[in-house]
Copies of this chain bind each other. A is one copy, B any other.
Amino acid sequence: MERHFETELRELKEMILAMGGRAEKAIEEATQALILREPERFERVYQIEKEINTDHIKVDEASIKLLARQSPLAADLRLVVAVIKINTDLERIGDQAVNISHNGKRYVAEPPIKPLIDIPRMAQEVCTMVREALDAFVQQDHELARRVLNRDDSVDALKNQIFRELLTFMIADPKTIERALNLILIARNLERIGDHATNIAEDVIYAVTGKDIRHGAHPNPSSSTN
């Protein structure tokens, strides 16, 4: 029985949403493990990332099948191409959650150098970006997608602040260097997640409006610490 394009597309959207939920969960678990200093919790991140990888292959297969069977055109075609791209970004968010876990494990193995305030805030901000970018995709809401782009600036500002503060710790006491470096790397992992959410939002805007806003209205990812 031949099914309708809309049915298959709805299934694809549901797959992306479930995958996005897992990506958010991976970021949350990694951050909570770091904040609460619960090393065993990082293991959950590795488990969730495996599930994300399975999703990744399934979404790719389903998208290619849909293109082959339905040969969608115009807005429908742009939407399926957006799914293929969003899929890649979600998979890489999973990779970054794993990287946070590697760096986090090393950090919690030693005494803390400071209370973690900005990193949890940054993690929350990028989680919101991922959720809103996916909401924008499902609801085909390009205005919500644009708000995601604006959030990226505050993520960059937080990362620069974290970077500068940790630099003062390192210079004041070389014994903190390795630990401070782990936190700097975690801030960069979170920044990368923000970049992926930005990519998703840009793909949504293109899929919905047909307008390519990349490399134009929104500045490129380049701030003071790259």
A→B interface (CB under 8 Å): 49-50, 53-54, 56-57, 60-61, 63-64, 67-68, 71, 73-74, 77-78, 81, 84-85, 88, 95, 98-99, 102-103, 167, 170-171, 174, 177-178, 181, 184-185, 188-189, 212, 214-215, 220-222, 224-226
Contact A189/B68 with A85-B84, A85-B88, A170-B177 known, Cβ cut-off 8 Å: no
Contact among B57, B74, B95, B214 for A221, CB-based, below 8 A:
B95
| A177 CB contacts on chain B under 8 angstroms | 167, 170-171, 177
Total copies of the chain: 2
Q: Roughly how many angstroms separate A221 CA and B78 CA in the complex, as a whole number?
A: 30
Q: Roughly how many angstroms separate A181 CA and B188 CA in the complex, as a whole number?
A: 13
| A181 CB contacts on chain B under 8 angstroms | 167, 184
Q: Roughly how many angstroms separate A177 CA and B172 CA in the complex, as a whole number?
A: 11
Determine if B81 and A64 form an interchain contact, defined as CB atoms under 8 angstroms apart. Answer: yes
Q: Roughly how many angstroms separate A73 CA and B63 CA in the complex, as a whole number?
A: 13
| A81 CB contacts on chain B under 8 angstroms | 60, 63-64, 67, 84
Q: Roughly how many angstroms separate A102 CA and B50 CA in the complex, as a whole number?
A: 35
| Shortest distance from the beta carbon of A178 to any chain B beta carbon, whole Å | 7
Determine if A214 and B78 form an interchain contact, defined as CB atoms under 8 angstroms apart. Answer: no
With CB as the reference atom, state the residue of chain B lying closest to A95: B221
With CB as the reference atom, state the residue of chain B lying closest to A178: B167
Contact among B68, B99, B103, B214 for A57, CB-based, below 8 A:
B214
With CB as the reference atom, state the residue of chain B lying closest to A170: B177
Task: Please list 22 pairs of residues, one from A and one from B, whose beta carbons are closer than 8 Å in the complex, sorted by A's number.
Answer: A49-B220, A50-B215, A53-B214, A57-B214, A57-B215, A64-B78, A67-B77, A67-B81, A68-B77, A81-B84, A85-B88, A88-B88, A95-B221, A98-B220, A99-B221, A99-B222, A102-B224, A167-B177, A167-B178, A167-B181, A170-B174, A174-B174
